[in-house]
Structure 1
Amino acid sequence: MMNADELIESYVSDVVKRLPRKQRVDVALELRSLLAEELGPDAEPERARELLRTFGRPAEVAARYRPTLHVIDPADARTFRRVSLIGVAVVWLLGVIDVALDAGTVPAAQLVPRWWFNAGLAALWWPGFLGACFVAAAWVRRRWPRLAEWKPRAVDRDQVNRVAYAAGGAAAVLGTVVLAVPSLLLDAVWGGRAAPEAYAALAYDDGFARTLGPVVLVVLGANIALLVALAVRGRWQPLTRRLDLGLTVVTCAVLTWVLVAARPFESDPANETVRLALLLIIVVSLIGAAYKVRNLRLRSAITTHP
């Protein structure tokens, strides 16, 4: 059970992570001092919970410290804006990459119109969908306020879920084996009775198998080793966080190399499918890397000062 100081620290952390970076340190110090003074020394955890419950949801408290965009609910405005822009940017980026890869087969005059009608306009449905979701969420919070009550959580961001990381490592090993020998997947699904055409469709190009293929396997092996190390250790460390970011950058670089300069399979349909999968993996990985960097900066900004 968390004591009063841990409850305050968890609450302050949830508040300041919703603020711009330049405000986080000052607000964390001010809010931590205000709550500690209001609570007094040697307070019981239950009293601390009641104080934090009456103080308001972290999103609402954060809204008091910054000007908000009144898009949906004031407390949700910044999240709505960020998620909307990220979603539109991702769809646009995928569209740009797709058009760039087809630049050699499509007349130059058609590239921009093709991008605009395939991805440019299509991306604009995302803010509308988000708007409907945020409106529904706000209605639910007003209708059943207890569902939106803040619940304390431990602020130990270094601890990892060993079971989840072990499962992720096992899944990564299985996926790497199937990637190295695709026929294993066909044998498992069809019991060795798949059509010869299916095996031919998943046959690797000889040039790729000799050059880039081993590089991809080495990078995947390094990622698996990191997952296993985290599952065994049970905690993040500065070294493992740096390795994680470095491996993400290297993985994206190698996959981009495959995407642009390689033809992994002998079959054209298989290569088209792989190209789409690589696009999604690269974009998701880069977003994940940006999120990790943001969290590292947040950890540094809200560290308790003596």
Structure 2
Amino acid sequence: MPETSVAVARRVTLTGDRTLRTDLSAAKPVTMGIDDPKMRINEWGSATGLVSSAGAGAPKGLVAPLYSGAYRSYAVGSAKIPGLTYFSAASWEQPSVLATTVGGSGPPVDVPVGLTTQRTDWDLEKRVTDAGDGGDLTGLEIEDHIVLLESDWSLPWEELDGRYQAVKAHRPAAILLAGSASIDAADPTLGIGDHGVTLLRERLAKGAVTLRIKGERNGERTYFTFHAHDDGVPAGANWQDRRRDLARVDHSFRTTGYPNDAKGIYGWVTYRGLNLAQQSTVFRAPHRMTAYYTPECPGRRPGSSTRWRPARWGPSTPTRRSSARDPRSRTTG
């Protein structure tokens, strides 16, 4: 996972060869927030970027993902550039599983983990043990601990999987697996990426680490927020949303398929026919969920068509909308 992204734009007139240098020293942070402490950014449904209608032809866009955790987004303020819009679109959800450090050095931080099976009944708080690549478990506290295990891809599959099985045989409270193995449905195993491994090892280098892991079959709420700055790139921004100011939509979902399989609700923010960002969240049906939408687009101009176009995967019942102001035009499906 990258650590930062920086948006920068300049209008340049070319009449011959030129050398251009990009100066990022004036970059300022772009932050977004919601007044709901249970929410985290859904990395698969959030993006920031630029859209330009300054030239001839259809509008064109450039996007970068938004990530949760330590990721930071920056922008370098530009001169006025008519037809250029900077935007930031975030999908907020209560994760199916959330791992957070408890006590120790530094403030609590989220450690990004993911489900490897359909199990969501996670509820534990245990010390972390780093088992490395699992090649030598001698003297390690594994039983009833949360064990960090990183696969050594240079090994043949049989040995790689055997190391996972050896760790599991010591009855850990949970295994955070960075890699692959033969995982049974009942295994206490979660996936963890490079960023999570690095974060945990940095904490472990300073002392003991306790991790709180909490799972939820479904979240009660989700948020889709959108902000924009017209005619150039802002010199940073701080966009904070309050639930009471957003448009509320109550969704009810049913399914004739597998109830434990995650399904999605998603929508696009569009500008003059160009899809700027696909925002989404997942749920497990049957379920009732309240979604909150940015009710107006800050970048809307006369004649533009910036709007929401939500859709859903799987059967659902009609939605009920409750808001003093309608959300952007929606097409349900």
Greater fraction helix: 1
- Shared fold (TM-score greater than 0.5)? no
TM-score (norm 2): 0.17
Bigger radius of gyration: 1
Greater fraction strand: 2
TM-score (norm 1): 0.18
